[in-house]
Amino acid sequence: MTQPIRVLHVIDSLDAGGAQAALFNLVRHCDTARFEPSVATMHGRGVLWDDFARLGVPLHSLSPRRELPLYVPRFAGIVRSLRPQIVHCHLYGSNWVAKPLAAALGVPVRISHDHCSDALRYENQWARAVDAQANRFSSHICAVSGSIRDFLLRQERISGDRISLVYSGVDLDRFRAFTGKSRPVDAHFTVLGVGRLMPQKGFTAFLKVAALLLSEGCRMRFQIAGAGPNEEVLRMKAAALGISASVEFLGHVEDMPNLYGGADALLVPSRFRGTPMAVLEAMAMRLPIVASRMDGLAEVLVEDTDALLASPGDIPAFARQLRRLVDEPGLDTRLADSALKKVRDYFSARAMISQVEGIYGRCLEEAADRR
């Protein structure tokens, strides 16, 4: 009987985020007859550690804290013990550190999963140079949006045959659209924000939109689900805007489907150029979306068909689009139905996994041919 191919996924942390959600889907739904996954986090454990543990996947932490010298011997020991045929790296730290180490240790296939298209590489020449150098060790790169693929082609000069556009996929078994949902006439309209609390996610803009709508007398409440380094700054901003009583900071939420099901709209005023997993999850849950008109989002969302869009930073435009969901009868249903069909057709977790496992197979064949 053929032994499964050993795949070691490496990610910076198991804190909640889109990359972690994509990795969870890759592990949960992988073809276990063909592949045997394990997961290593660069530092710490993170809030999702137990979720991964419940999948029965072997878990490893390279270091209790962010410290490069601790990563190297621990990662080398794991590779020598597991002898993976594939090391699949997610996020900057693993791509910059674990991937070159995997090459030095003789791992035949090294996959980069490029989830990030934020200011770090666009505005930091040093980071861009490090990323380009590290990508020399990639057997193949999975780019989660066309904007990321184009960045790799144009800015890092990576050959197109080494990059595949692999959109993230949502677990349609977990995120199922609620049927028969209705909001009581006298209830507040609930606007949800989801994501890691970092500057590029646009939560400062989220709060400014909330303040504008509340100042106009809208019966709305706002919820932010997620944790991150900007939480205290955002709480102070809400207080400064005088809207603390109308904004609820929920932290990490375990039951995201229920949270989406209780909301009336998802607001994504992001400056991030990728495709947030929260958008795909909201599409699957039939939750209307108001989002930034940006490359990664615009690749997925057709304006006024699947979602309502506004230019990043245009606070009045975001507010107007949210008011349309309240004021225009049937608009929310039309948008939600179109988005649900699209996510089912093109953005399922199983479609993503099938594509990634196909890349594994091709890369393994190429590695065998080079021997």
Residue the block writes with tokens 């659209």: 177
Give yes or no for residue 43 having a pLDDT over 70. yes
Cα first-last separation, the chain: 24
Distance CA 112, CA 42 (A): 15
- In terms of pLDDT, which residue wins out, 185 or 15? 15
pLDDT at 299: 84
Q: pLDDT digits over 156-193, tens only?
A: 889 999 999 999 999 999 998 876 555 555 678 999 99
Confidence of residue 217 (pLDDT cuts 50, 70, 90): very high
Q: Which two tokens stand for residue 49?
A: 């550690």
Q: What is the mean pLDDT of residues 47-73?
A: 87
Q: Which two tokens stand for residue 129?
A: 């140079």
In the sheet that holds 189-194, the strands lie side by side as 247-251, 220-225, 189-194, 265-268, 289-292, 308-310
Give yes or no for residue 1 having a pLDDT over 60. no
* DSSP for 175-243, written as a single string: S---SS----TTSPEEEEEES--SGGGTHHHHHHHHHHHHHTT--EEEEEEB--TTHHHHHHHHHHHT-
CATH topology for the 189-346 domain:
Rossmann fold (3.40.50)
Strand (E) or helix (H) holding 91: helix 91-93
pLDDT at 18: 84
Long-range contacts made by residues 227-231, C-beta under 8 angstroms, separation at least 24? 227/15, 227/16, 227/47, 227/196, 227/197, 227/251, 227/252, 228/15, 228/196, 228/197, 228/198, 228/201, 229/197, 229/198, 230/197, 230/198, 230/199, 230/203, 231/197
User: Which of 68-77, 79-88, 221-230 has the lowest average pLDDT?
Assistant: 68-77
Helix and strand counts by DSSP (H, E) for the chain? 16, 13
pLDDT at 128: 81
Confidence of residue 274 (pLDDT cuts 50, 70, 90): low
User: Which of 70-79, 120-129, 139-148, 234-243 has the lowest average pLDDT?
Assistant: 120-129
Instruction: Return the ∠ at Cα 231 (arms to 222 and 244), rounded to 5°.
Output: 40
* DSSP for 276-299, written as a single string: -HHHHHHHHTT--EEEE--HHHHH
Instruction: Return the ∠ at Cα 91 (arms to 90 and 94), rounded to 5°.
Output: 70
Three-state SS for 107? coil
Q: What is the mean pLDDT of residues 224-231?
A: 91
Q: What is the mean pLDDT of residues 133-160?
A: 90
Q: What is the mean pLDDT of residues 17-44?
A: 92
pLDDT at 66: 75
Contact 224, 201 (CB under 8 A): no
pLDDT at 146: 86
Q: What is the mean pLDDT of residues 269-292?
A: 89
Domain ranges, ordered by start, for the chain? 5-169+348-370, 189-346
Fold agreement (5-169+348-370, 189-346): yes
Length of the chain: 371
Top-level class of domain 5-169+348-370: alpha beta
Tell which residue, 86, 134, 132, 117, has the closest CA to residue 294: 117
pLDDT at 121: 67
pLDDT at 154: 87
Q: What is the mean pLDDT of residues 232-256?
A: 95
Q: Which two tokens stand for residue 25?
A: 């889907």
Q: What is the mean pLDDT of residues 133-138?
A: 92
Give yes or no for residue 129 having a pLDDT over 80. yes
Tell which residue, 323, 332, 318, 203, has the closest CA to residue 271: 203
Give yes or no for residue 314 having a pLDDT over 70. yes
Tell which residue, 92, 145, 101, 132, has the closest CA to residue 8: 101
Average pLDDT across the chain, whole number: 90
Half-sphere exposure of 77 (CA within 13 A, CB side): 9
